[in-house]
Each structure stands twice: as C-alpha cells, then as structure tokens.
Structure 1
Amino acid sequence: MAGPRPGQKTVLITGCTPGGIGHALCLEFHSKGVHVIATARNPAVLSEMAALGMSTLALDVTSTESIKTCHDEVSNLTGGKLDILVNNAGRTHTHPATDIDLDDVRETFETNVFGVMAMCAAFSDLLIEAKGLIINIASLAAITPYVFGSVYCATKGAVVSYSRTLRTELKPFGVRVMVAMTGTVRSQIASKTHRTLPAGSIYQRVKEIFEKRLTFSQNNATVRSEDYARKLVANALKPEWPLVLRSWFGRPDWFWAGGWAGKVWFATWFGEWLLDSVMYRMIGMNQLERVLREEQRQKKLK
C-alpha cells in the first residue's frame, strides 16, 4: 500500500462504502491532491478507490480492537501524523419513540456516537502531531423534531454537543473541530426501507405516513453526494483564520450544507416553535390528528 508523498496532506474517512457521502468525500479529497485513507468494515468494497491510488483499510468504528489496528496502520503509513479525520460512518434509525427496541437503539448509538468518540480519542495523537482537523458529520436532525427519528436525532444531537466541548479541549493543541450540519443528501444507506411498524403500534392507523418518512431524506430537496462533498472539502482545505473571520474566510467551526440546510439555519433565529410547526405538517402529523378526532366521533355515535 503506497503512502502519502513527502509533504502531502492526509485524510482518514470512516464509512466509505460506495454510494454514500463517505465515498463522495474520498473522491473529492483525492481530486484536490490529498492522500485519502478510505475505510469500511469490508475493505473489498473499496477496490475502486484503491485502484485510484488511495489507501484502503478495514475499520469497524464499534470495535476497540479494529480502531487500534487501524490507528497503528495509519501511523506507520503517514509517519505518525494525520491532517484530517472525517467521522462519517453512521446508521439510520427511523422508528416512533414509543416503538423502539433498546438493543436496536444501542447499536445506533454505538456507531453514531460512541464510534465518533472512540475515533477522536484513538487518533488524537496523530492529529495533535499534525495540528489537524476533525470533521464530525452531524445532521439537521440534531436540532429539528424529525418525526419518527427520535433515536437518530438523539445521536446527532449528542455528536453536536460532544464536538463543541471537544473543540475547546483540543484548541490548546492546535487541533480544530468542524461540525457538518448535514441536510438531505443522496445516499444508498438512507434509501433503505427495512424498518416496519410493530403490529401494536399506535401509529398503525397512519402507517402510510411512516412509510413515506422512511425515504423522506431522499425525496425532499435532496442534493447529490458529489455536490455536498465538493462544498465540504473546499471548506476543510481553507487556510486558518482568526475566530471572528473564520466563518467568512477560513475553515468554519460549523458547516451547513445539503437540502434544507439554509432554511433550517435561518429558522433557528426565530425559535424552536417554527421548526416544530413546519416539521409537524411536513411529515403529516396533522393528518393523524384528524384520524384521532374521527375515531373519537365514531365512539360517541356508538
């Protein structure tokens, strides 16, 4: 496996299976002359990227042993430095809060939250050596009431809070932390519709709303992963600027992109009531209200 050229920047990206954001980021960083270290649980799916000259490694962000092995391989490959770490690996979770299975919830937190924490801790030495940058892929779900996504929202909210504190802790060491507030982006992972409502769910009466919600991110102002990656990489490679000028000229602390990102950012200035109201109607919860009212009317007629 060929390593980076002398002086060439390096980036490690998690969750790079073709068809998603991670894969698009690999191609975009590579096009900008950065040596990419692409990772996936099964590195065989990364053969296309290996053929382009990228380094490819096996990595399961939920496994301490896998993370340690990857760290040692990266350290040997780069000479003990890492310029950019992109925590992209993630898991969808669309289920009503009243229908969750806690073992399933734990799996989502293992990937979306604990995996991010473990990667930052494990690779901190390489990032400090390079005075590097951590990019944590969060979501607009962290600040919106994304109906039937309470677990996913909770994981992304945790990533946002964790990243803010991590930024402060690593600042003395010259390591930056960027949070990517990601809107709707085309992704094969987000297109999967394997979840179903349990038979006794209180939402069975409007199961069509739940089924529509499963692919909401792929059918509402969705942007191409390539376009999202282009914007993120351009921001990640900007030069360093003082804090007050960072959002306009340098690498920002907060990166907003993807479908709805601009509108959600704007809405945050008006208070949470606006986002609550918009999401409630957009998903169709007012339809559930009508169904429940009709049920009550029918009961009174009996």
Structure 2
Amino acid sequence: MSSSVIKTALVTGASSGIGYAVVKELAENGFTVYACARRLDLLEQLSRGYEANKVIPYALDISNFEEIVQLKEYLSKHLPHQRLDVLYNNAGQSCTMPAVDVTNERLNQLFQVNVIGHMNITSQLCQFLINAKGTIVFTGSLSGVSVFPFGAAYAATKAAIHQYARVLHAEMKMFDVRVINAITGGVSTDIADKSPLPKSSPFYFPEGLKALEERKLMSAKNFPMSAETYAQKLVKDILSPRDPVDVYRGTLASVVSWLMMFAPYWLVEWVTFKKFKLDSVEKALGQKRETEKQE
C-alpha cells in the first residue's frame, strides 16, 4: 500500500452488509472512501456520520459498463495524485435455487454483477492502483470451493472470481499491487435469496421444498459472524504487509475449505445429503418412481 498522506479506497456494494461495514472500518482507519452502490440514499445516510468528504457517496450499477467508465472519469478528476490505495470488489447478488430452475435472465444478471462487473471495474481502475501500489480485494465465498445444494449458479460466479483473483495476483505483483481473495463463510447480512421455487421445478414437492428452505436458512443457523467483525478482520488484512492471496474469513470458512481440500468427494457429498435433507428428497423420488412402475 502507498504511504501517501491521503489514503483512498473505493468499495462497491456499500449500501448494506459487508460493504457498509467495510466503508465504516476503512474510514475509521484514516481512509477517504468512495462508497458505491445503486441506492444513493443509503450511501448519503452513511456519509452523514463522518466529516465532509470522508465518505463520498457514488451511485453505481456495477453491471453497467458505461457507468464504470464514467466512474473512472470521475476518479481521474478527483483522486489525489491519481492514486487509489484500495479497491474493494464487494457488490454481489445471491441465488438459492436448483441449478435447472435458474432462468437465462437471472443467470446473465448474476454473472454481470458477481463476475463481469468486478472484472470491468478492476481493469478500468487498475492504473490508479498501480500508481498507489495499492490493494485489490474480492469478496469470495465458501460456495466457490464447497458443495452447497441449490446454489450452483451463485457458486459458479464465486469460483470464477476466486480464479480471476488468483491469476490477477500473479500478474499485478510485478507492479507491487496486492490482491486479496476473501473466501467468506457465514456473515450476518441481508443477501439471502427469498425467491420462491417455481411450480415447474422438478423439486416442487414437499421434501424438495423443505430441503430448499433448509438451505436458505444455512447461514442464519450456523452462528454467522457480524459484518462489523468481518470488516475489522479484512481491513487488518489490507493494512498487513502479508500477501497470502486467499484469506478465510467468516464462520466455518477455514474448516470447510480444509475439508474440501482433503476429504474424498464421496464423503463431502454424503455429508451434504445428510445436512441439507437431500436424502429425504432422494427417498421421496425413489418412492415416486416405484409407484409409477406399479401403475
């Protein structure tokens, strides 16, 4: 990170949850923070808790490339010495739905927000980070390394971001720019997907519906870390001279990641079936097939 007098950071998805908490933690650690999200009213409310120009609200839809280009132009006029110390890529959408039930429209939006938007904003702002010898952070997820049922589409976006961050790390270290991939476990936020299962779904029967609801409650039932504690840990990672690429933050992040590295896949899948009541789903489907054979 640069030793410039005015430390600057930009955080996407800053209107709630992790992004909101990270903005506050960075500001309390001496950064001037550009807080970006679609909801400008929430950002303005956040900025009022600080002295003028300490937290700067900026309306941004990360899925809109033109808006990212406009952000670059805005920063080129306002960043002190054209230096950005921290780019915190946090904006994201959840999707808890059987893989076969995710619509084309939703799939495209999910990848635009969770993957392509982060890639675009990183490429557009990279020179500011090179100038500052700064740090780029991505909010990854256990979903990107583990097997969480009814989360295939979301998991695919996070796996893509993990790999993007790791390769980016190798490329940017030559410019003295650090890249942190925060593999995130349980954190108390409002990102949970509340979309109902469509009636056309092959899982639309009592056991399938029950399993989906169990999956949606996964984070809340596993003692999630507060967003404030998570932000404190991540800002410490940013301020640290260490350069580990992957860091594990949030409830069960390290445990599940190590399990996935060393446990045989059949065991992982067996545990998944038990924990998320997929064995009941499988049993119900088997009974249905037997009934159909007898008819």
TM over 0.5: yes
Report if the CA contact (8 A) 1:221-1:260 is conserved: no
Show CA shifts across 1:46-69 (max 9, x none). Answer: 123221131111111111221122
CA–CA distance in 1 between the matches of 2:161 and 2:220? 22
**In structure 2, distance between residues paired with 1:277 and 1:29:** 41
Tell which deviates more after alignment, 120-129 or 93-102: 93-102
**Preserved CA contact (<8 Å) 1:93 1:151:** yes
Runs of at least 5 residues in structure 2 that lack an aligned partner in the other structure = none
- CA, structure 1 residues 252+213, in 2 after alignment: closer, same or farther (shift >3 Å)? same
**Equivalents in 1 of 2:176, 2:152: separation in Å?**
35
- Whether the 8 Å CA contact 1:10–1:82 is kept in 2: the answer is yes
Q: Whose relative contact order is higher, 1 or 2, with alpha carbons under 8 Å and at least 6 apart? A: 2
How many residues were matched structurally?
Answer: 284
Aligned to 2:79: 78
Q: How far, CA to CA, are the matches of 2:113 and 2:29 in structure 1?
A: 29
Q: Does 1:180 align with 2:172?
A: no
Provide the residue aligned with 2:56 in structure 1: 55
Q: Does 1:10 align with 2:12?
A: no
List runs of 5+ in structure 1 lacking aligned partners. 1-5, 240-249
Q: Secondary structure at the match of 1:55?
A: strand
Distance 2:270 2:228 in 1: 31
What per-residue deviation string (whole Å, max 9, x for no partner) do you get for residues 120-175 of structure 1?
10000100100111001110101111101110000000001111111112121111
Match of 2:130 in 1: 128
Question: Structure 1 residues 64-73 or 103-112, which shifts more?
Answer: 64-73
Among 268, 274, 281, the alignment partner of 2:260 is 268
Q: 2:182 is aligned with what amino acid? A: A
Structure 1 residue matching 2:222: 3-state secondary structure:
coil
Quick check: 2:21–2:231 contact (8 Å CA) kept in 1? Answer: yes
Aligned to 1:298: 291
Relative to the length of structure 2, the TM-score reads 0.91
Q: Which residue of 2 aligns with 1:217?
A: 219
What is the TM-score of this pair, normalised by structure 1? Answer: 0.89
Contact 1:236 1:251 in 2 (8 A): no
Shift of 1:8: 2.2
Q: Which residue identity lines up with residue 95 of structure 1 in the other structure?
A: M
Aligned runs of 1:102-141 on 2, under 5 Å?
102-141=104-143
Measured on the aligned residues, the alpha-carbon RMSD in Å equals: 1.7
Q: Distance in 2 between matches of 1:10 and 1:257?
A: 23
Question: Using the alignment, how far apart are the partners of 2:200 and 2:212 within structure 1?
Answer: 14
Greater mean alpha carbon deviation, residues 175-184 or residues 218-227: 218-227
